């Protein structure tokens, strides 16, 4: 994937409009991005094309205890014109590498149940639906809440792939530890 | 030491207060705190909780008073200190946290927790020297490595922020370096953060060689994580800085062969190649490093050939590599030499790329920057011809019945047209051809049977963008409003079918702005969910139009929203700095500080602050309100250099499809930014004049003075309180005039022309200066007695002000209603939209603003003139001599007020007429008839078209009538002020 990769910086917030002016990409308050940069800078990556247009970015973190120590994908977004170039997969790959380096057992993420494109992409990348979180996404307009798939991919440390065996297939958001 | 029992009792007593606070029941929290304080007078923690509750309940004065009492008690317990810190944070007085902890630390000197909080309180206010001494104290006592690194980081920040660069180089950084090395020599380096800080210090000192040694040391290998795949390795960056170009080149060749699709490696290769190509002797180790064109062409061809082997995935990298190589050769005038040494012709390189990727939406963005390499017309023609052939070839090999293939063919067609546009093909068309082509592309969009997604824009939406750009080309030359309206209807159709297309929405915002319709601009802005940092980058889109189009209510809300963001982000940024210290993210500290400082100086930050104060004062102020409570005080600081502001406006959010020569460029943006700053300078002078005149007048009362010792008392004002010096300073600055009154006509997607040209035409600046002269003359007469020439000044200034206002009111383009030409009935744009002069919206709004400003100045003088009149009446009663000058001043004032009132009355009449016009003619039902409903319904897209036009008409109606209504209210408010003033 023809891309310039580097760590995300504060300045990038001034340039991410083309990526963020997308109905499925949330723009958060500055403190949200800064807390990620302050705590997990290596988990926040940006991809640029040769003309230095921002193609997309990924932000994540590492958390948990014991065998629950894992990487988490908080946001992955690719500008419309750079989709279907495997960029999302490439960025996920890098986040997995960072999590592997940090000796995580797995990487997990939440995705809207209805977002077939994303769910299929994650499946292709080796993620499985670990469990369903009921009504994880609350509708801001007062409409129907939506379930999330909690998807996971075991990392090299999890030799027996225990991390993808769930105790319960369906849980409520309150039962989530992270 | 309190016993366990008393501690438990205290906790028990405080618990309900905590609970009330947590539940947001602040009133009950106050009552409960009072109860506890009555029982236990010395319980500081209860007082602290009461402070918080009072603050949250809105009783901030009482909260502050109680907080000073708490401070005097010098609390040292964790709860009270944390509670007070919370209060200071919530009330925006974080500068008071340090003194609180300083006092506590003196009383309890060996408390690690206290010192840590003290350190963080200094972090909040960039107090680097105190951060350093506190961190040193912490390290000395507790020997914990993070404290040492806080100390070192304080030195780094002292260096990074030092005004004296020598001091940074010779003192702070060497000190930081020495401290780390001592720590390392003692074998104490244990975390990646420590190695990273060491590398940061060395990088700042320019000690790249040493940094490389550190990177390659065992300790770094042990502590630092491996390089993330695809990132440029740190050693490679350092070697580049050290001038080891051959090494970089050799290593990047290896990396490229392993991953030919990485732009990081391609740049490393080309950056080093450029140096070696320019002067191979710059580096001794040249063997195996590439320094000739043949070698570079060799590796490019090798990478392309490798991926064309069977079964390989074709990547964009190698093709863009050769184009980037050509661009760099062209930069040093060696492109021809490149061709001689095996580099392909530019059009062939471009076609190599498009042959594989013309069907991808990224195609245009990827190669647009290389199109400039097509130097001659024949190259351009060959490229475009090649694109057509590629498209035709693809079409031949694919089954046309397959929907996906049809879609890909359309994508190729749209991208080809975008290339043609950028390469100047549209520029050469006649206007009639442009219109025809525009229709064709719009019809293509409308007829496309693509299943459009509600969450993702389609590349085929560019059919509409192309259609719109063609019409905008003609509009740029002719200014024909009809074309803008057609663009609005096409873009509305696009947004309707492809609601996720933000590009179309951004075009629409600009189109509606030019049409004088603000409401759809604000609606579209909302649908794009623009928020937080996007205010700083995209807020300019609304900012230019809100007040200038007379929507002062919306303007105030939008500015407040932006100000909330700037305020919160500053606080958040500071708290994030503390997180950085706690996590050892030292590089981010420098980055966050830079970001915070840049946001403080953001153009949008200053503009929205200015505009909200301005709207509050000029549009909303009522005569009995205190003016000094309406302004952000920092705006009145005339010493703040507006030239220091920074431009964060994002224009690149719209891709520029214009041909060379007509593109949005950095110079235009810079020029426009300078104009914006010039505008803000004027705005500040205006705000400051209104503030000083208004608030100072409100603050003075007449006093009887012994004027000439013969018991002939005269009532005078104290001129010291009236701050004449500031007013004179403002007048001097106003008299300097605008830096430049003309402004270039920017491209449609470029910067937005400022309000300066129109304000210049309206003589706004001149009027403010005249008004200040007028006010100064009145005030001087009231304070020091009338000069001989005062009447001349007053008559001249007041009549000139009225004359200027009248001239602007009667100027061309001021009428809302215009005759539209005879063709309108047969045109594809509803005639009603053509009957409304959209330019008049901005002109009228400016007139309203000027009228309001004038009225405020004049109304402010009432106090003085009234005093003169009272004085005259008193003297008349006592049968004493009346000053004729003062009598003239009073008469002139009343005449001035009356003239302004007449003008205001006329404005209101005009507003009413206009409202009537809108109410009568812009009713959607009537319009539907005018649109030849039947005729439209006969067409395929007729009903859609009808709905879209109705939507535009209702936007026009709502926008224009809101603007008129709000303007009318302002004028009436000022008329009331004037009427009261003239009665004295």
- Subunit contact A39:B579, Cβ cutoff 8 A: yes
Q: For residue B937, give both structure tokens.
A: 């319904």
H or E stretch at A5: strand A4-7
Residues 6+ apart with CB under 8 A from B33: B17, B46, B47, B49, B50, B53
Distance, CA of B794 to CA of B788 (rounded, Å):
12
- What pLDDT score does B398 carry? 66
Distance, CA of B972 to CA of B912 (rounded, Å):
12
Q: What is the pLDDT of residues A97-150, one digit of tens each?
A: 999 999 999 999 999 999 898 999 999 999 999 999 999 988 766 678 899 999
Residue B847: which of B755, B773, B956 has the closest Cα? B755
DSSP 8-state assignment for residue B518: -
Distance, CA of A125 to CA of A117 (rounded, Å):
13
- Subunit contact A30:B532, Cβ cutoff 8 A: yes
* Contact A139/B at CB under 8 A: no
- Subunit contact B585:A37, Cβ cutoff 8 A: yes
- What pLDDT score does A2 carry? 74
Give A166→chain B minimum CA distance, Å: 30
**Which of B231, B575, B576 shows the shortest C-beta gap to A5?**
B231
Q: For residue B685, give both structure tokens.
A: 């002078």
**Which of A2, A31, A45 shows the shortest C-beta gap to B315?**
A2
Give B601→chain A minimum CA distance, Å: 14
Per-position b or e across B675-688, b if 16+ CB within 10 A of its CB: bbbbbbbbbbbbbb
A-facing residues of B in 834-863 (CB < 8 A) are none
Alpha carbon of B484 to those of B373, B466, B473, B667, B838: distances in Å? 34, 14, 11, 26, 11
CB B841 within 8 A of CB B521: no
- Measured between beta carbons, which residues in chain B are less than 8 angstroms from residue A34? 572-573, 576, 579, 588, 592
Distance, CA of B373 to CA of B908 (rounded, Å):
59
Tell me the pairing of strands B714-716 and A146-154. unpaired
- Measured between beta carbons, which residues in chain A are less than 8 angstroms from residue B317? 2
DSSP 8-state assignment for residue B602: B
- What pLDDT score does A1 carry? 57
Q: What is the pLDDT of residues B329-362, one digit of tens each?
A: 999 999 999 999 999 999 999 999 999 999 999 9
Distance, CA of B694 to CA of B697 (rounded, Å):
5
Chain B residue closest in CA terms to A23: B455
Alpha carbon of B783 to those of B595, B707, B865: distances in Å? 49, 11, 12
Distance, CA of B559 to CA of B632 (rounded, Å):
12
- What pLDDT score does B631 carry? 81
- Subunit contact B228:A94, Cβ cutoff 8 A: yes
3-state helix, strand, coil in chain A (%, to 5): 35, 30, 35
CB A58 within 8 A of CB A115: no
Q: For residue A45, give both structure tokens.
A: 């990556």
* Contact B588/A at CB under 8 A: yes
Distance, CA of B189 to CA of B883 (rounded, Å):
87
- Measured between beta carbons, which residues in chain B are less than 8 angstroms from residue A63? none
Q: Which residue has the tokens 């010779």?
A: B170
H or E stretch at B943: helix B942-983
- The pairs formed by B335-342 with CB atoms below 8 angstroms and a separation of 24 or more are B335/B373, B337/B293, B338/B293, B338/B297, B341/B292, B341/B293, B341/B294, B341/B297, B342/B293, B342/B294, B342/B297, B342/B298, B342/B301
Q: What is the pLDDT of residues A23-71, one digit of tens each?
A: 889 999 999 999 999 999 999 999 999 989 999 999 999 999 999 999 9
Phi, psi for A131 (deg, rounded to 5): -165, 175
Angle between helix axes B462-478 and B502-514 (nearest 10 degrees) is: 20
- Subunit contact A27:B533, Cβ cutoff 8 A: yes
- What pLDDT score does B282 carry? 65
**Which of A6, A14, A98 shows the shortest C-beta gap to B533?**
A14
B-facing residues of A in 78-137 (CB < 8 A) are 80-85, 90, 93-94, 97-98, 101-102
- Subunit contact B573:A80, Cβ cutoff 8 A: no
Residue B105: which of B121, B89, B126 has the closest Cα? B121
**Which of B226, B360, B502 shows the shortest C-beta gap to A21?**
B502
Distance, CA of B275 to CA of A29 (rounded, Å):
43
* Contact A28/B at CB under 8 A: yes
- Measured between beta carbons, which residues in chain A are less than 8 angstroms from residue B572? 29-31, 34
Give B858→chain A minimum CA distance, Å: 44
- The alpha-helical segments, DSSP class H, found in B700-763 are 724-735, 756-761
Residues 6+ apart with CB under 8 A from B349: B319, B322, B323, B326, B343, B370
- Subunit contact B572:A34, Cβ cutoff 8 A: yes
- Subunit contact B652:A53, Cβ cutoff 8 A: yes
- For chain B, residues with pLDDT lower than 70 are 1-5, 282-285, 310, 398-401, 703-716, 718, 720, 819-827, 922-943
């Amino acid at each position: 994937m023809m891309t310039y990769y580097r760590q995300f910086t504060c300045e990038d917030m001034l340039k991410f409009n083309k990526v963020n002016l997308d109905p499925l990409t949330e723009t958060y308050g500055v403190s949200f991005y800064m807390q990620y940069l302050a705590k997990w800078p290596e988990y926040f990556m940006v991809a640029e094309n040769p003309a230095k247009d921002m193609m997309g970015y990924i932000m994540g973190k590492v958390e948990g205890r014991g065998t629950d120590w894992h990487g988490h994908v908080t946001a992955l977004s690719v500008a419309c014109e750079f989709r279907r170039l495997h960029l999302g997969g490439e960025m996920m790959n890098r986040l997995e590498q960072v999590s592997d380096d940090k000796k995580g057992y797995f990487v997990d993420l939440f995705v809207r149940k209805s977002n077939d494109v994303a769910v299929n992409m994650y499946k292709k990348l080796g993620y499985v639906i670990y469990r369903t979180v009921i009504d994880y996404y609350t509708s801001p307009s007062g409409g129907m809440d939506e379930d999330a798939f909690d998807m996971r991919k075991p990392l090299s440390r999890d030799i027996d792939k225990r991390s993808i065996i769930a105790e319960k297939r369906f849980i409520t958001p309150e039962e989530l530890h992270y | 030491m309190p016993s366990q029992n008393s501690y438990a009792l205290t906790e028990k007593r405080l618990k309900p207060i905590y609970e009330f606070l947590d539940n947001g029941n602040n009133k009950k929290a106050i009552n409960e705190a009072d109860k506890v304080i009555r029982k236990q007078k010395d319980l500081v923690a209860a007082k602290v909780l009461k402070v918080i509750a009072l603050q949250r309940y809105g009783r901030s004065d009482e909260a502050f008073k109680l907080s000073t009492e708490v401070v005097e008690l010098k609390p040292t317990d964790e709860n009270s200190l944390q509670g007070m810190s919370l209060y200071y944070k919530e009330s925006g007085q974080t500068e008071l946290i340090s003194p609180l902890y300083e006092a506590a630390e003196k009383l309890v000197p060996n408390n690690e927790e206290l010192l840590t909080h003290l350190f963080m309180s200094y972090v909040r206010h960039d107090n680097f020297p105190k951060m350093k001494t506190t961190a040193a104290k912490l390290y000395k006592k507790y020997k914990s490595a993070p404290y040492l690194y806080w100390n070192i980081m304080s030195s780094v920040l002292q260096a990074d922020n030092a005004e004296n660069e020598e001091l940074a180089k010779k003192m702070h950084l060497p000190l930081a370096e020495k401290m780390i090395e001592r720590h390392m020599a003692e074998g104490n380096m244990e975390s990646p953060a420590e190695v990273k800080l060491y590398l940061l210090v060395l990088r700042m000192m320019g000690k790249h060689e040493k940094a490389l040694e550190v990177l390659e040391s065992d300790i770094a290998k042990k502590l630092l994580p491996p390089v993330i795949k695809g990132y440029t390795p740190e050693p490679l960056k350092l070697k580049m800085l050290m001038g080891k170009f051959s090494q970089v080149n050799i290593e990047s060749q290896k990396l490229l062969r392993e991953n030919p699709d990485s732009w990081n490696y391609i740049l490393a290769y080309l950056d080093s190649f450029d140096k070696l190509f320019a002067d191979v002797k710059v580096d001794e180790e040249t063997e195996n490093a590439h320094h000739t064109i043949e070698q570079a062409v060799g590796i490019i061809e090798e990478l392309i050939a490798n991926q064309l082997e069977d079964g390989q995935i074709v990547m964009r990298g190698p093709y863009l590599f050769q184009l980037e190589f050509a661009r760099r050769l062209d930069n040093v005038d060696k492109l021809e030499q490149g061709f001689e040494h095996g580099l392909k012709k530019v059009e062939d390189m471009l076609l190599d790329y498009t042959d594989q990727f013309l069907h991808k939406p990224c195609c245009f963005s990827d190669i647009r920057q290389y199109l400039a390499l097509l130097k001659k017309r024949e190259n351009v023609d060959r490229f475009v011809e090649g694109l057509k052939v590629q498209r035709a070839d693809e079409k031949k090999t694919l089954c046309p019945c397959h929907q996906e293939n049809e879609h890909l063919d359309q994508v190729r067609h749209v991208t080809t047209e975008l290339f043609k546009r950028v390469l100047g093909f549209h520029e050469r068309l006649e206007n009639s051809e442009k219109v025809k082509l525009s229709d064709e592309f719009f019809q293509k969009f409308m007829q496309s049977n693509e299943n459009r997604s509600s969450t993702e824009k389609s590349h085929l939406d560019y059919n509409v963008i192309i259609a719109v750009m063609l019409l905008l080309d003609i509009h740029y030359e002719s200014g024909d409003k009809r074309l803008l309206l057609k663009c609005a209807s096409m873009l509305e159709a696009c947004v309707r079918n492809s609601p996720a297309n933000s590009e179309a929405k951004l075009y629409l915002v600009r189109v509606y702005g030019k049409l004088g319709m603000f409401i759809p601009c604000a609606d579209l802005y909302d649908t794009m969910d623009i928020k937080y940092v996007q205010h700083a980058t995209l807020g300019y889109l609304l900012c230019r139009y809100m007040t200038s189009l007379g929507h002062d209510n919306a303007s105030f809300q939008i500015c407040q929203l932006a100000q909330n963001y700037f305020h919160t982000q500053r606080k958040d940024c500071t708290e994030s700095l503390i997180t950085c210290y706690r996590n050892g993210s030292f590089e981010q500290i420098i980055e966050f500080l830079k970001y915070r400082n840049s946001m403080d100086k953001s153009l949008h930050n200053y503009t929205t602050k200015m505009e909200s104060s301005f709207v509050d004062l000029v549009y909303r102020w009522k005569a009995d309100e205190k003016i000094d409570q309406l302004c952000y005080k920092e705006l009145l600081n005339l010493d703040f250099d507006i030239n220091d502001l920074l431009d964060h406006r994002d224009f690149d959010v719209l891709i520029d499809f214009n041909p060379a020569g007509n593109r949005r460029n950095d110079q235009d943006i810079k020029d426009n930014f300078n104009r914006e700053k010039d505008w803000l300078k004027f705005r500040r002078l205006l705000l400051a004049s209104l503030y000083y005149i208004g608030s100072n007048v409100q603050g003075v009362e007449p006093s009887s003075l012994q004027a000439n010792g013969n018991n002939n008392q005269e009532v005078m004002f104290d001129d010291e309180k009236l701050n004449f010096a500031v007013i004179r300073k403002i007048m001097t600055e106003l008299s300097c005039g605008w830096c430049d009154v003309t402004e270039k006509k920017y491209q449609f997607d470029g910067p937005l022309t400022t309000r300066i040209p129109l304000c210049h035409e309206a003589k706004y600046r001149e009027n403010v200066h005249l008004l200040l002269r007028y006010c100064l003359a009145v005030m001087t007469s009231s304070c020091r007695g009338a000069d001989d020439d005062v009447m001349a000044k007053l008559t001249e200034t007041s009549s000139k002000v009225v004359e200027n206002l009248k001239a602007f009111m009667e100027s061309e383009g001021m009428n809302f209603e215009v005759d539209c030409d005879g063709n309108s009935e047969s045109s594809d744009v509803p005639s009603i939209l053509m009957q409304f002069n959209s330019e008049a919206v901005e002109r009228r709004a400016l007139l309203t603003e000027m009228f309001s400003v004038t009225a405020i100045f004049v109304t402010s003088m009432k106090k003085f003139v009234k005093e003169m009149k009272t004085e005259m009446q008193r003297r008349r009663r006592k049968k004493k001599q009346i000053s004729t000058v003062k009598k003239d001043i009073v008469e002139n004032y009343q005449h001035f007020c009356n003239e302004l009132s007449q003008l205001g009355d006329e404005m209101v009449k005009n507003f009413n007429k206009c409202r009537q016009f809108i109410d009568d003619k812009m009713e959607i039902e009537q319009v539907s008839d005018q649109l030849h409903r039947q005729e439209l319904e006969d067409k395929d897209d007729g009903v859609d078209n009808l709905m879209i036009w109705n939507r535009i008409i209702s936007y026009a109606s709502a926008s224009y009538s809101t603007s008129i209504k709000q303007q009318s209210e302002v004028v009436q408010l000022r008329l009331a002020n004037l009427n009261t003033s003239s009665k004295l």
